[in-house]
Chains A and B, each alone.
Chain A
Amino acid sequence: MEKIQSIGELKKLHERFKSLLVLREIPKSKNNFIKTKGFDKREVLVCAGTGCRSANSKEIVKELNKNIIEARLAEKVKVHITGCFGFCEKGPIVKIYPDDVFYIKVKPDDAHEIVNKHLKENQIVERLLYEEPSLKQKVKTQNEMSFYKKQFRIALRNCGLINPESINEAIGSKAYLALSKVLTEMSPDDVIDYIYKSGLRGRGGGGFLTGKKWRFARQSNSKQKYIICNADEGDPGAFMDRSILEGDPHSVLEAMAIAGYAIGAYQGFIYIRAEYPLAIDRLQIAIKQARKYGLLGNNILGTGFNFDINLKYGAGAFVCGEETALIHSIEGFRGEPTYKPPFPAIQGLWKKPTIVNNVETLSNIPAIINNGIKWFTSIGTKTSKGTKVFALAGKINNVGLVEVPMGTTLREIIYDIGGGIKGEAEFKAVQTGGPSGGCIPASLLDTPIDYESLNEIGSMMGSGGMIVMDKNNCMVDIAKFYLEFTLEESCGKCTPCRIGNTRLYEILNKITKGNGTKQDLKDLEELSQIIKDTALCGLGQTSPNPVLSNLRYFRDEFEAHINDKICPAGVCKELVRYYITDKCIGCTRCAKICPVGCISGNIKEKHIIDQDRCIKCGSCFEVCPVNAIIK
Chain B
Amino acid sequence: MGDDYILNERNDYKLHSNKLSNTKLKKLDEFIETVPKNQSSLIAVLHKAQKLFGYLPSELQEYIGEKLNISTANVFGVVTFYSYFTTEPKGKHVISICMGTACFVKGSSDVLNEFERKLGIRAGETTPDGKFTIETIRCIGACGLAPVITIDDKVYGHCTVDMVDKILQNFSE
Binding site for B on A (CB under 8 A): 50-51, 54-55, 88-91, 234-239, 242-243, 274-278, 280-281, 284, 287, 310-318, 329-336, 391, 393-395, 399-400, 431, 434, 465, 467, 469, 473, 478, 481, 485, 491
B3 near A88: Cβ-Cβ < 8 Å: no
The residue in B8, B44, B137, B139 that gathers the most chain A C-beta atoms within 10 A of its C-beta is: B139
Residues of B45-103 whose CB lies within 8 A of A: 46-47, 77-78, 81-85, 99-102
Contact of B6 among A277, A391, A399 (CB under 8 A): A277
How far apart are B109's CB and chain A's nearest CB, in angstroms?
9
Known A335-B82, A434-B101; contact A315-B46, beta-carbon cutoff 8 A: yes
* Chain A residue with the shortest CB-CB distance to B109: A481
A236 near B82: Cβ-Cβ < 8 Å: no
A310 near B1: Cβ-Cβ < 8 Å: yes
Contact of A242 among B38, B138, B141 (CB under 8 A): B141
A316 near B84: Cβ-Cβ < 8 Å: yes
CA distance A331 to B39 in the complex (A): 7
CA distance A335 to B105 in the complex (A): 29
Task: Identify the stretch in B17-25, B26-34, B144-152 within 8 Å (CB) of chain A at 4 or more residues.
Answer: B144-152
* Chain A residue with the shortest CB-CB distance to B102: A393
A275 near B137: Cβ-Cβ < 8 Å: yes
Instruction: Determine the main DSSP class of A at the interface with B.
Output: mixed
CA distance A21 to B141 in the complex (A): 28
A316 near B148: Cβ-Cβ < 8 Å: no
Contact of A332 among B40, B106, B155 (CB under 8 A): B40
Contacts of A333 in B (CB 8 A): 39, 78
A399 near B40: Cβ-Cβ < 8 Å: no
Contacts of B100 in A (CB 8 A): 236-237
Contacts of B141 in A (CB 8 A): 50-51, 239, 242-243, 276, 391
How far apart are B121's CB and chain A's nearest CB, in angstroms?
19
CA distance A467 to B139 in the complex (A): 13
Contacts of A89 in B (CB 8 A): 144
Known A310-B1, A315-B85, A400-B144; contact A481-B104, beta-carbon cutoff 8 A: yes
The residue in B3, B8, B137 that gathers the most chain A C-beta atoms within 10 A of its C-beta is: B3
Selected A-B contacts with CB under 8 Å, 30 pairs: A50-B142, A89-B144, A91-B144, A236-B104, A237-B100, A237-B101, A238-B139, A242-B141, A275-B137, A276-B141, A277-B8, A281-B6, A313-B7, A315-B46, A315-B47, A315-B84, A316-B84, A332-B38, A332-B40, A332-B42, A332-B78, A391-B141, A394-B101, A399-B143, A399-B144, A431-B101, A467-B105, A481-B104, A485-B138, A491-B81
B139 near A313: Cβ-Cβ < 8 Å: no
B3 near A310: Cβ-Cβ < 8 Å: yes
B15 interfacial by beta-carbon distance below 8 Å: no
Contacts of B143 in A (CB 8 A): 51, 88, 237, 239, 391, 393, 399
Contacts of B1 in A (CB 8 A): 310
Binding site for A on B (CB under 8 A): 1, 3-4, 6-8, 38-44, 46-47, 77-78, 81-85, 99-102, 104-106, 137-146, 148, 155, 157
The residue in B6, B44, B138, B140 that gathers the most chain A C-beta atoms within 10 A of its C-beta is: B138
Contact of B81 among A236, A274, A310, A317 (CB under 8 A): A317
Contacts of A467 in B (CB 8 A): 101-102, 105
Contacts of B41 in A (CB 8 A): 332
A399 near B82: Cβ-Cβ < 8 Å: no
A284 near B3: Cβ-Cβ < 8 Å: yes
Contacts of A287 in B (CB 8 A): 3
The residue in B39, B44, B144, B155 that gathers the most chain A C-beta atoms within 10 A of its C-beta is: B144
CA distance A415 to B105 in the complex (A): 19
Contacts of A90 in B (CB 8 A): 144
CB-CB nearest 5 A-B residue pairs: A88-B144, A277-B8, A239-B141, A315-B82, A393-B102
How far apart are B108's CB and chain A's nearest CB, in angstroms?
11
* Chain B residue with the shortest CB-CB distance to A395: B105
Contact of B82 among A242, A317, A394 (CB under 8 A): A317
Known A88-B144, A89-B144, A399-B146; contact A469-B78, beta-carbon cutoff 8 A: no
CA distance A313 to B99 in the complex (A): 22
A50 near B140: Cβ-Cβ < 8 Å: yes
Contacts of B139 in A (CB 8 A): 235-239
CA distance A314 to B82 in the complex (A): 8
CA distance A89 to B145 in the complex (A): 7
